[in-house]
């Protein structure tokens, strides 16, 4: 599951004009509206756009809903680490902000949505179609009622979707792309080069000698301006840990039962569908012949021949050797026509031939399991842990807020802490972003210190382990470093320079002796060898990166000629181009219209990104970072399983 999600991470990111309707539908269908777990004190503002609030509850519900949708799409168990890695909390809040911005821009422009436009949207809504036709307004109402979706909320969401579409259309109406732009973009996507390259990694280059003291001093004296000690701050702080307060809370059986009833979807094992594929790619010249072959293979598969054997014999993708098995999740990353065709099949079913832009596919569902809801008994321990965590966090929040008020009144964290039976500790001198022991590995406490003045008392600082309050005591300003303070860094810098020089010299020497077999010679020369069948512009290369200067070299270097050594991400590299394939005007003319639409879409998206950045400033978008982190962790605490 994780492999599929990481490969499809871009598809999980919100597009600038993604509509609010999907959120509204999912919130009411899955969670039954606002409320449920953690509803207390969630009506406060998390962000504001043009003075209009985005409430904590809106974000809380939206994030939970998005995570549930992803879990259902990809199956398996999500975990907090992966969710953070994909940036889903940040994306969710950003989506809410962008939607609110676009609606305000629409209002500024005087744009409106008519009832007729909303009606047309309802009639065309995918979930309300049967055999390509709208189900009718009576069935439409019944479908919403069955899914516990409020009719007025649903239609309000569609109304906003139409309005956002209008404002996007107005903002991007004047954009266009020229024929030359389309051609150059097509070339970027389709020009390719078969290349090989050799790398000397700086990190693996050994330097036997240790820099002498005189060399260290000389390097420091020459580069003294570049060595500075950053500002550091010291504070007193009090920590309340969630784990410590769990012993003070109790969870009743009826609370566990209620949570289970209110969040049944959280305990469902999603439907799993095991899919195999036979894939036959085609070009414009052989398309008809390949389609004919695909129909023949499909007929044999539908007639009962062993699908895995057919896949091994005919399929042309990297799953062919495994009998065409795309597993329970990887197949969902295929094109929309393919996933739709596979998703409709019953167990043992074979699809018709599915034609895409690049080839023909035949699918078979080899295994299928229905959605399974775990019983209350199976998840009681899990729910108890969730509720204990929530209650302990609520207790931490209550006590830290009481301490904050008392500290503000006394103008001293130390005095307030003593009255509450607590003892402050010192952070020691911290740079911005430094961690604070095992309580704050992300550096939230030290970050907050840099927003305070001396003797200021912070607002409650949320971390995964609990909450803290700080009082800033001293500030050590940034200053020039002494040699003794940065001696180790000076030594490292000298060694890095020596390693680079040695790596470059090794590669120059190797270039002079290279013959034709770079792969074989790399072992003898102890160089890292890489081969790429079809490198395209702006593609990442291992140990190299995605450097523009490398692309310029690769697409201009004479064939089979070794380049000069070039600095790359991990050291120095030599390149050789074995073959080059260049796009032709004939191929381009066949897809020119599609390429134009794609490039224009990209251009609109980039324009909107720039426009929205400016709008954020004009509308004075503000986000409560601490509340955002606290709420995100609250939701992510439900996803603690590892995968």
Kindly state whether residues 9 and 68 are assigned to the same domain.
yes
Kindly state whether residues 14 and 161 are assigned to the same domain.
yes
Q: Residue 303's pLDDT is what? A: 94
**% of residues, the chain, pLDDT over 70:** 91
Kindly state whether residues 501 and 568 are assigned to the same domain.
yes
Mean pLDDT over 605-611 rounds to 91
Beta strands, E only, 370-505: 372-373, 425-426, 461-463, 466-476, 479-480
Helix (H) or strand (E) holding 477, with range, is none
Kindly state whether residues 339 and 436 are assigned to the same domain.
no
Picking from 439, 459, 477, the residue at the C-terminal end of a domain is 477
CATH of the domain at 460: 3.10.50
Tell which residue, 128, 125, 156, has the closest CA to residue 141: 128
At CB < 8 A and 24+ separation, what contacts does 71-76 make?
71/270, 72/270, 73/332, 74/1, 74/4, 74/5, 74/329, 74/332, 75/1, 75/270, 75/271, 75/272, 75/328, 75/329, 76/1, 76/329, 76/643
pLDDT 10s digits, 1-17: 444 444 443 333 333 33
pLDDT 10s digits, 515-543: 999 999 999 999 999 999 999 999 999 99
Q: Residue 262's pLDDT is what? A: 85
CATH of the domain at 621: 1.10.4030.10
Q: 352-363 burial, b for 16+ CB within 10 Å, e for fewer?
A: ebbbeeebbbbb
Asked if 536 and 192 touch (Cβ cutoff 8 Å), the reply is yes
For 356, what's the count of Cα atoms within 13 Å in the CB-facing half-sphere? 16
Task: Specify the higher pLDDT residue, 20 or 323.
Answer: 323
Picking from 370, 400, 432, the residue at the C-terminal end of a domain is 370
Give the max Cα distance, the chain.
Answer: 88
Q: Give the orientation angle of helix 487-513 with respect to helix 213-222, to 10 degrees.
A: 100
Alpha-carbon distance of 64 to 28, in angstroms, equals 12
Q: Could you give the number of structural domains in the chain?
A: 4
Kindly state whether residues 570 and 616 are assigned to the same domain.
no
Alpha-carbon distance of 466 to 245, in angstroms, equals 10
Q: For the chain, first and last CA: distance in Å? A: 9
Kindly state whether residues 138 and 110 are assigned to the same domain.
yes
* pTM of the full structure: 0.58
Mean pLDDT over 339-358 rounds to 91
Structural domain including 417 reads 232-249+390-477
Q: Residue 387's pLDDT is what? A: 93
Kindly state whether residues 470 and 498 are assigned to the same domain.
no
Beta bridge partners of 625: none
pLDDT > 60? residue 19: no
Domain membership of residue 377 (yes or no) is no
Alpha-carbon distance of 150 to 25, in angstroms, equals 9
CA atoms 364, 366, 370, 374: torsion sign: negative
Torsion, CA 174, CA 180, CA 182, CA 185, rounded to 10: -120
Helix (H) or strand (E) holding 571, with range, is strand 571-581
How many residues are given for the chain?
643
pLDDT > 90? residue 221: yes
pLDDT > 90? residue 591: yes
Asked if 199 and 511 touch (Cβ cutoff 8 Å), the reply is no
Alpha-carbon distance of 6 to 82, in angstroms, equals 9
Q: Residue 101's pLDDT is what? A: 94
Q: Residue 560's pLDDT is what? A: 96
* Cα→Cα distances 179→135, 188, 590, 607, Å: 43, 14, 14, 19
Domain membership of residue 98 (yes or no) is yes
Kindly state whether residues 531 and 432 are assigned to the same domain.
no
CATH of the domain at 329: 3.10.50.40
pLDDT 10s digits, 436-468: 988 888 888 998 999 899 999 999 988 878 899
Q: Residue 77's pLDDT is what? A: 63
Q: Residue 272's pLDDT is what? A: 85
* Cα→Cα distances 76→119, 194, 266, 329, 343, Å: 38, 38, 12, 9, 17
Alpha-carbon distance of 239 to 462, in angstroms, equals 10
Query: How does residue 76 score in pLDDT terms, banded at 50, 70 and 90?
Result: low
Determine the 3-state secondary structure of 32 from DSSP: coil
Domain membership of residue 179 (yes or no) is no
Mean pLDDT over 137-157 rounds to 84
Q: What is the mean pLDDT of the chain?
A: 87
pLDDT 10s digits, 468-497: 999 999 999 999 999 999 999 999 999 999
Kindly state whether residues 155 and 48 are assigned to the same domain.
yes
Domain membership of residue 600 (yes or no) is no
Q: Residue 24's pLDDT is what? A: 35
Query: How does residue 56 score in pLDDT terms, banded at 50, 70 and 90?
Result: confident
Kindly state whether residues 419 and 497 are assigned to the same domain.
no
Query: How does residue 552 score in pLDDT terms, banded at 50, 70 and 90?
Result: very high
Mean pLDDT over 565-582 rounds to 96
45: tokens are 């503002």
Domain membership of residue 547 (yes or no) is yes
Domain membership of residue 643 (yes or no) is no
Helix (H) or strand (E) holding 136, with range, is none
Kindly state whether residues 492 and 467 are assigned to the same domain.
no
Asked if 171 and 102 touch (Cβ cutoff 8 Å), the reply is no
Kindly state whether residues 52 and 143 are assigned to the same domain.
yes
Mean pLDDT over 304-314 rounds to 94
Beta bridge partners of 130: 133
**% of residues, the chain, pLDDT over 90:** 64
Domain membership of residue 52 (yes or no) is yes
Q: Residue 135's pLDDT is what? A: 84
Domain membership of residue 12 (yes or no) is yes
- Block residue for tokens 């381009």: 588
Picking from 424, 446, 477, the residue at the C-terminal end of a domain is 477
């Amino acid at each position: 599951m994780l492999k599929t999600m990481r490969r499809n991470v871009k598809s999980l990111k919100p597009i600038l004009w993604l509509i609010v309707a999907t959120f509204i539908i999912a919130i009411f269908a899955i969670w039954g509206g606002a409320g449920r777990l953690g509803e207390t004190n969630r009506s406060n503002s998390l962000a504001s756009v043009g003075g209009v609030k985005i409430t904590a509850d809106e974000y809380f519900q939206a994030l939970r809903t998005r995570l549930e949708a992803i879990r259902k799409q990809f199956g398996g168990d999500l975990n907090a680490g992966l969710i953070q890695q994909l940036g889903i909390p940040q994306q969710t809040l950003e989506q809410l902000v962008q939607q609110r911005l676009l609606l305000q821009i629409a209002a500024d422009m005087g744009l409106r949505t008519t009832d007729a436009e909303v009606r047309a949207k309802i009639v065309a809504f995918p979930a309300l179609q049967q055999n390509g036709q709208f189900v009718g307004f009576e069935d439409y109402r019944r479908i919403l009622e069955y899914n516990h979706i409020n009719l007025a909320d649903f239609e309000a969401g569609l109304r906003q979707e139409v309005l956002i579409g209008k404002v996007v259309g107005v903002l991007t109406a004047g954009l266009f792309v020229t024929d030359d732009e389309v051609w150059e973009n097509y070339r970027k996507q389709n020009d390719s080069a078969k290349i090989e390259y050799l790398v000397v990694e700086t990190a693996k280059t050994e330097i036997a000698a240790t820099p002498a003291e005189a060399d260290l001093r000389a390097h420091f004296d020459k580069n003294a301006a570049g060595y500075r000690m950053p500002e550091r701050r010291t504070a007193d702080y009090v920590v309340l840990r969630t784990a410590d307060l769990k012993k003070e809370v109790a969870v009743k059986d009826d609370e566990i039962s209620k949570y289970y009833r209110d969040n049944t979807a959280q305990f469902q094992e999603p439907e799993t569908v095991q899919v195999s594929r036979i894939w036959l790619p085609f070009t414009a010249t052989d398309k008809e012949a390949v389609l004919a072959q695909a129909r023949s293979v499909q007929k044999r598969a539908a007639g009962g021949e062993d699908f895995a054997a057919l896949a091994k014999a005919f399929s042309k993708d990297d799953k062919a050797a495994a009998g065409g098995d795309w597993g329970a999740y990887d197949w969902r990353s295929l094109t929309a026509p393919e996933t739709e065709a596979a998703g409709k099949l019953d167990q043992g079913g074979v699809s018709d031939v599915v034609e895409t832009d690049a080839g023909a596919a035949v699918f078979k569902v080899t295994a299928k399991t229905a959605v399974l809801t775990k019983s209350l008994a199976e998840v009681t321990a899990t729910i108890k842990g969730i509720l204990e965590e929530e209650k302990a966090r609520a207790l931490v929040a209550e006590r830290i807020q009481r301490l904050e008020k008392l500290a503000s009144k006394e103008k001293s964290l130390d005095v307030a802490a003593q009255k509450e039976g607590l003892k402050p500790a010192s952070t020691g001198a911290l740079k911005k972003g430094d961690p604070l022991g095992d309580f704050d590995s992300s550096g939230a406490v030290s970050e907050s210190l840099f927003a305070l003045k001396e003797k200021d008392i912070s607002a409650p600082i949320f971390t995964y382990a609990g909450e803290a309050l700080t009082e800033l005591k001293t500030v050590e300003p940034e200053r020039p470093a002494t040699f003794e303070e940065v001696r180790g860094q000076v030594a490292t810098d000298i060694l890095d320079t020596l390693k680079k020089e040695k790596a470059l010299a090794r590669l120059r020497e190797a270039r002079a002796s290279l013959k034709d077999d770079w792969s074989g010679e790399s072992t003898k020369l102890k160089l890292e060898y890489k081969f790429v069948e079809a490198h395209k512009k702006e593609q990442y290369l291992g140990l190299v990166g995605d450097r523009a200067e490398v692309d310029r070299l690769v697409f201009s270097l004479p064939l089979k000629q070794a380049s000069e050594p070039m600095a790359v991400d991990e050291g120095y590299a030599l390149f050789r181009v074995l073959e080059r394939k260049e796009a032709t005007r004939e191929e381009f003319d066949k897809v020119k219209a599609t390429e134009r639409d794609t490039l224009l879409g990209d251009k609109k998206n980039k324009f909107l990104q720039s426009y929205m950045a400016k709008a954020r400033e004009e509308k004075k978008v503000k986000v409560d970072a601490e509340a955002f982190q606290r709420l995100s962790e609250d939701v992510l605490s439900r996803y603690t399983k590892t995968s």
